[in-house]
Amino acid sequence: MGKLTVNLCGIELDNPVIPASGTFGYGYEFAELYDINELGTFSFKGTTKDPRFGNPTPRIAECYSGMINAVGLQNPGVEKVIAEELPRLKKCFHKPVMANVSGFSVEDYAYTCEKLDKEEQVGWIEVNVSCPNVHGGGMSFGTDPAAAAEVTRAVKAVTTKPVIIKLSPNVTDIVAIAKACEEAGADGISLINTMLGMRINLRTRKPVIANTMGGFSGPAIFPVAVRMVYQVANAVNIPVVGIGGVSTAEDVIEMMLAGATAVEVGAANLVNPYVCRDIVRQLPAAMEKYGIENLRDIIGGAR
């Protein structure tokens, strides 16, 4: 059997498959369906300093080969995540978990990251500067190299664990932003978050989503994600986590050939809650099919 292990920012993973933030809750919900320790790790639901109810409904719109969501970072806030969610997770997940953090100011990001950095279960901190579904936060930091670098420096100043900055595809120059984060001290880059999309109801002639626009995800964005992972992996010297439309073992291999060290699976979890488990189990056969003995050997192989 081929070797599936990879090393992400100094932490060994049994395999490169990671459910993406916002599609896997805080993990224990999926643990009722299968042993989530089969996964490399997972990125838990986007967490902010204060509790958030999220955006008004409707929040979801169907699309060809994907979906649009505007949930708006609904979460109980970092204090409750630490007090309630992480202890529940510890009972069913025995590996380091990736903490996903968002904010509405540089101070927000630093506060939340400093809190989560102290938690033994947290292996990496994934800093979301790319959420298109909230006003005044998230993506507004990720579309400007200087702003993304400022968040990176603030978070690195208060953390000891690897910091991975999650970038938005809704920009003209993804490489400039990735390099600014690297220079500011980021330990890794994850990309892409959702693209900005919209649907209109033909009967009401109004936007389907109450927020008007939302994050477009699913198989339709996979080629864009592969292209951006390839560009960034060629430009930085830190690990890249590939995200965007991944739904099969072959997609994982393609992302890794583009330069990803590990791969997150997002919207596919909402279609099939077993998809990440299935991808992990199907990877050995896919590796054999393409003559791959060790996944580490193919990282950036298309360059």
Check: CB of residue 170 under 8 Å from CB of residue 196: yes
Position 139 scores a pLDDT of: 52
State the 10-residue block means of pLDDT for the chain, 303 residues long: 92 98 95 98 96 92 93 94 97 98 93 98 94 50 87 97 96 96 98 95 96 95 98 98 98 98 97 98 98 98 94
Compute the Cα dihedral for 143, 149, 150, 155 and give only its sign: positive
Position 133 scores a pLDDT of: 45
Q: How many CB atoms lie within 10 A of CB 302?
A: 13
For residue 31, the SS3 value is helix
H-helix or E-strand spanning residue 18 = strand 17-19
Position 1 scores a pLDDT of: 64
pLDDT, tens digit (0-9, with 9 covering 90-100), for 121-172? 999 999 999 754 444 444 567 788 999 999 999 999 999 999 999 999 999 9
Positions marked catalytic: 131
Domains of the chain with CATH codes: 6-54+72-196+217-297 (3.20.20.70)
* Cα gap 295→284, rounded to integer Å: 10
Position 100 scores a pLDDT of: 98
H-helix or E-strand spanning residue 97 = strand 97-101
Residue 26 tokens read as 């805080």
